[in-house]
Every structure is written in structure tokens, then in C-alpha cells.
A and B are shown apart, each in its own frame.
Chain A
Amino acid sequence: EIVLTQSPGTLSLSPGERATLSCRASQSLSRNYLAWYRQKPGQAPRLLIYGASSRATGIPDRFSGSGSGTDFTLIISRLEPEDFAVYYCQQYGSSYTFGQGTKLEI
């Protein structure tokens, strides 16, 4: 099973600032099948990024994903109030596993 480790566990920032979230895989991901999701309290996760760097439909360009192999990054360039939530990475190249999440708090 591929284990995904996200860091940091909690990130404290202010609106307008830049957020950098990391996701490390225990082994190299095939085809860079790495996705990022945002989950607001009481809601389902929402797909932000797939294939490590492609934005999902309707996702603003302040969200960007990068990385390959075992190291991946999600950057939110200018935080909006609705961005304060929990973010999960997920690999879908070898079965499906999720990271433990990064909480982005004000």
C-alpha cells in the first residue's frame, strides 16, 4: 500500500497570504496520479487538482499543483476566506489511498 504523508499538519495563515502544502508518497506514483481535495466543515471533499498539476473544472487559478515521483505540492497563491479548510492528497495509481490531511486555519 502506498502511504501518503502530508505536511504540515496545521498551517496558520491570513487571507491574502500564500499557502504551500506538501504530500510525500512512500513510493513513486505511476503516471503522477495524485489529486488534491479541499474539505470544508460538514461538507464532502471537493476535487481541486488531478494528475498532480491539472486544475479541476471550476477551480480558480490561485490553486496550483506540482511535483512528480514521490514529492508533490499544492500552492494557494492568495488565500480567500473559503480556503480555510482541510486539504487531502490522494493517489489513484495503485489502488487508492489518502493522506491524513493538512488543516489550513486563520
Chain B
Amino acid sequence: EVQLWESGGNLVQPGGSLRLSCAASGFIFSSYVMTWVRQTPGKGLEWISSISGSGGDTYYADSAKGRFTMSRDNSKNTVYLQMFSLRAEDTAVYYCAKGPQFDGFSFWGQGTVVTVSS
């Protein structure tokens, strides 16, 4: 059974940093692209970043470029999202997802809440 478990969400002040983690199980982790997606009431679902199975290639939305860094540790079956210079508009539920492959984002974690506020 595929499982994804995000952690690391918290209340952080504007300009602060936070690292999110997503632990995976139930599939051959290193064979899959992994992705972070966030959701806000105002903007809906927004793709943030993806990383190749090897970790050698990363992709970012414009909203994340230069401030967020996605990485993975295949020995721990975990992906990370390091976020810097956080802004109020980064407040969201952050989900990690398996994929995309030919079948889109086939499985999502339960999400972790990031609140950026003073």
C-alpha cells in the first residue's frame, strides 16, 4: 500500500524558513518523480516543485524559484522542501504527491499546514 506522510508544517514569521519532509512507503521510491503541491482557499491547487527519481533534476514554479529547494534522500525514502524568505502568500496546505508519471499525480499525502504570519 502506497503511503506518503508529510511533516514539518508550522507557524513561521515572514522572512523565515521552514523545511518540509515527506516520507514514502509501498513503492520503489527511487523510480518515481515526486512533487510538492500546495492548496489555498484563494488560489486553489498550485504545483510548486518536482524532482526526478535520482534527484538530479528539479523543477520549480515561478512562485518557488530562488526561494524553495526540493531534494530527496532515496536511502530514507524521503523528499524535502526547504523554504526560505517565506511570505504571507505562502500560507497553505502543502501536499507531496507521487508522480507525475503517465497517470498524473497518482497518490497524495494528507498534507501539512504552513502558516506565515507575524
Q: Which residues of A contact B (CB under 8 A)?
A: 33, 35, 37, 43-47, 50-51, 54, 56, 88, 90, 92, 95-101
Contacts and interface: CB of A to CB of B under 8 A. Distances in A.
A28 B102 CA distance: 17
B95 A44 contact: yes
B27 interface: no
A47 B106 contact: yes
B89 to A, nearest CB: 17
Interface stretch (B10-18, B39-47, B79-87): B39-47
Q: Contact residue range for chain B?
A: 20 to 34
A70 to B, nearest CB: 18
Closest 9 CB pairs of A and B: A35-B104, A44-B108, A96-B47, A98-B45, A50-B103, A50-B104, A92-B100, A92-B104, A47-B106
Contact of B46 (A35, A50, A98): A98
Contacts of B104: 33, 35, 47, 50, 90, 92
A51 B100 CA distance: 12
B105 A54 contact: no
B50 to A, nearest CB: 8
